[in-house]
Structure 1
């Protein structure tokens, strides 16, 4: 079969983000300068880069923290109207120590602030599908079983 005979294939954008927690179980959200809403630390995967590597790179670029991330919690198929198909990976980054919180620096200027947010207030900080995705990731962390989601809805 030649390239011209191949059926069309999806070429989704791929992004990866991390969930950091505090001792009360709240998640760390960041406020990007270029978005209307809050988000989790992370960003797009570069060509040849794994989602885990991209997640760690983005954490260092955005927050100035060099850290490893743990288990994948959720992969979410979440196409966006102006961006096409997207696959979003969310990794468990564990709890930040007080020293790590103090070390957060907005290195690349993409972020304006950060805060911990309780799961029940996520809807006040971003779009509904982001809140669903984060809640699916929290549930996966609590159960110890990674999950698949579509538009933030775990299946």
Structure 2
């Protein structure tokens, strides 16, 4: 079969983010300057870049931190109406202590603030699909596993 005979293949946008936790188990959310809701730290994967490498790069660019990422917690098939097909990876960033928190700098101007948020308050800060994805990642972390999700819900 030649390249011209190949059936069409999916070309989803790929993004990677991290969950950082505080001592109480709350997750870090960040407020992008260009969105009307909060997100987890991270961003889009560049051509030729792995999701893990993209996550480390984005955290360095956005927060001024160089995290030692733990395992992947969830990969989420999350197509969006105006954005097309997307695959979203979330990695475990572990707990940030006071020293790391003091080192946070909004290096590239994309973020304006950060805060820790409890699981019960996730919908107050972002879309329901993001809250589902974060909860799926938290459950995977608690279970010492990883999860496959669609639209944020584990399958």
Quickly name the TM-score band, shorter chain normalised. over 0.9
TM-score, scaled to structure 2: 0.99
1:38-62 per-position Cα deviation (integer Å, ceiling 9, x unaligned): 0000000001111000000000000
Deviation at 1:80, TM superposition (A): 1.1
Provide the rounded CA distance (Å) in 2 between the counterparts of 1:119 and 1:96. 17
The alpha-carbon deviation at position 66 of structure 1 amounts to 1.2
TM-score by length of 1: 0.99
Consecutive unaligned residues of structure 1, counting only runs of 5 or more, are none
The answer to whether 1:100 aligns with 2:78 is no
1:97 is displaced (CA, Å) by: 1.2
Aligned residue for 2:118?
Answer: 118
Alpha-carbon deviation of 1:82? 1.6
Residue aligning to 1:134: 134
SS at match of 1:53: helix
Question: What runs of 5+ residues in structure 2 fail to find an aligned partner?
Answer: none
In 2, the alpha carbon distance for the partners of 1:145 and 1:25 equals 17
**Partner in structure 1 of residue 28 of structure 2:** 28
Q: Equivalent residues in 2 for 1:28-107 (5 A)?
A: 28-107=28-107
User: Equivalent residue of 2:92, what SS?
Assistant: strand
CA distance in 1, matches of 2:35, 2:144: 32
- 1:3 Cα offset (Å): 1.4
Name the residue aligned to 1:147.
147
The root-mean-square deviation of aligned C-alpha atoms, in Å, is: 0.5
d(CA) in 2 for partners of 1:80, 1:108: 26
For 2:66 and 2:73, the matched residues in 1 are separated by 20
